[in-house]
Amino acid sequence: MSVFGKNGQTQTMKTLALLCCIMLLPWVAMAQEVTVQVQTKGESALMARANGLREAESAALLKLLQGIYPEKANEVASRVGSENAGQLVKNFEVLREKSTAHEYAAEIRYIFDREKVDRLIAQERGLAPQIDSTALLILPVWQEDNALLLWEPENHWRFVMSTIAMQEGRGKLVMPFGDPRDAFIIDHETLLAGDRKAMVELAERYGVRNVVIAQARNVAKENAPPEIEVLLRRPGLKSKEEITTVRFKAEPATQTQAQVLERAAQEIARRLAEATTHYSLFADEDAEKVKARVVRAEFRHNREWMQLKRAFDGLPGVEYIDIGAISPRFAQVTFYFRGSDAMIRRALMTRGIEVRDANGYWLLSLPH
């Protein structure tokens, strides 16, 4: 039964009806959004609310996984853990809530980041390695005469490179899925231009900070043993763009093109896995991403103000906090942070702080 009584039951029926309508759609169109209900307790209203929001994130992730990966939903949700579930959330909305001195009940709608969830499922299914932010995303391009092949099935270099990178990369080398989303971001035109904006978008999709274009071709003369030339190009700022050319001859001369390609892929994978990161596609953004968010923190007495200040400590992404004017009832606080407003808002609400919009700024307070 809904913890919100008759109105909650009506809302639940509407939600069920909506779900029945969208069950006919592919999961990619509906998996981002999940609505859950929680009911928790705590030593105070603040703690009860914080407990409820953390529990809701975990419950929402589990519900999402039960719909798209039911055979291992519990296992994956447990592995992600309640402390990391929020990293997969793009945004959320508290539809309704009820708070007392020691209890909290809410109905919350979560919108998950589809790309992050896709990557999680791919990793769980062994289709993508665990990666970190220093990894390299490889775009294997095959040049045939004047034509460039990237996502086309005729690009045999891509399949060879994908196999070798999985074996040799140790999580440092990431291969794109080559799905319609990849093809939408990178086409032949953006590839030739080394379009930085498109490269950054693709890097963000796979959670990495660098992209390497590995363009291969057979440069051997007619009737000669195969000789593969690989052009490694790391697009970025023009002054820092790196281009390296490596050639691989048939040794012995009886080696086939497929054999030379495999040897080339092994050497390229080894070099890239060992390479240090000289720069990042995100270099400019890193310098500019520190944002300022001015808020008004409201409180009824000094004890509440001290609670708010403690809740501000250690917020993810926050570089530092500047506390401005303080009166008996409110304070002006500026958060300097990296990331999105939604991330900071979610972190504040998870810690039990009310966040309300008011003419371009936020009003922060403890639940009354």
pLDDT at 228: 94
Shared domain check, 215 and 136: yes
| Pair 234, 334 in one domain | no
Residues 296, 361, single domain; the answer is yes
Coil vs helix vs strand at 310: helix
Q: Are strands 33-41 and 89-99 parallel, antiparallel or unpaired?
A: unpaired
- Give the C-alpha separation, 253 to 237, whole Å: 40
What are the 10-residue block averages of pLDDT along the chain, 368 residues in total?
41 37 36 87 85 89 91 89 78 89 92 80 67 77 88 90 76 82 86 81 81 91 92 67 83 91 90 65 54 88 90 82 85 82 82 84 86
Domain of 298? 289-365
Q: Examine the domain organization and report whether 135 and 202 are in the same domain.
A: yes
For helices 45-68 and 114-124, give the axis angle rounded to 10 degrees.
60
Q: Are residues 103 and 139 in the same domain?
A: no
Give the pLDDT confidence score for residue 74 in this predicted structure: 92
Contact by Cβ (8 Å): 104, 49: yes
1-25 burial code (b ≥16 CB/10 A, e <16): ebebeeebeebbeeeeeeeeeeeee
Cβ distance 9 to 91 under 8 Å? no
pTM of the model: 0.48
> Which one-letter DSSP state was computed for residue 225?
P
Q: What is the CATH number of the domain that holds 320?
A: 3.30.70
Domain boundary among 85, 102, 120: 120
Q: What CATH number is given to the structural domain containing 157?
A: 3.40.50
Three-state helix/strand/coil letters over 36-58: EEEEEECCCHHHHHHHHHHHHHH
| Whether residue 276 sits in one domain with residue 166 | yes
Q: Is 149 helix (H, G, I), strand (E, B) or coil?
A: strand
Beta strands in the chain (DSSP E): 33-41, 89-99, 103-112, 136-144, 147-149, 173-174, 210-218, 227-234, 242-249, 291-298, 318-326, 330-337, 354-358, 361-365
CA distance 329 to 308: 12
Give the per-residue pLDDT at 240: 52
Choose one of 282, 299, 319: the last residue of a domain: 282
pLDDT for position 23: 34
Listed residue (299, 312, 342, 308) closest to 46, CA to CA: 308
**Claim to verify: residue 147 and residue 220 sit in the same structural domain:** yes
296 and 268 share one domain = no
Q: Are residues 274 and 327 in the same domain?
A: no
For residues 89 and 80, the answer to whether their CB atoms sit within 8 Å is: no
Domain boundary, last residue among 246, 263, 282: 282
Q: Structurally, how many domains does the chain consist of?
A: 3
88 and 214 fall within a common domain:
no
The CA distance from 211 to 355, in Å, is 38
Q: Is the dihedral of CA 315, 321, 326, 330 positive or negative?
A: negative
Quick one: 138 and 274 in the same domain?
yes
Do residue 241 and residue 308 come from a single domain? no
pLDDT of residue 56: 92
pLDDT at 297: 93
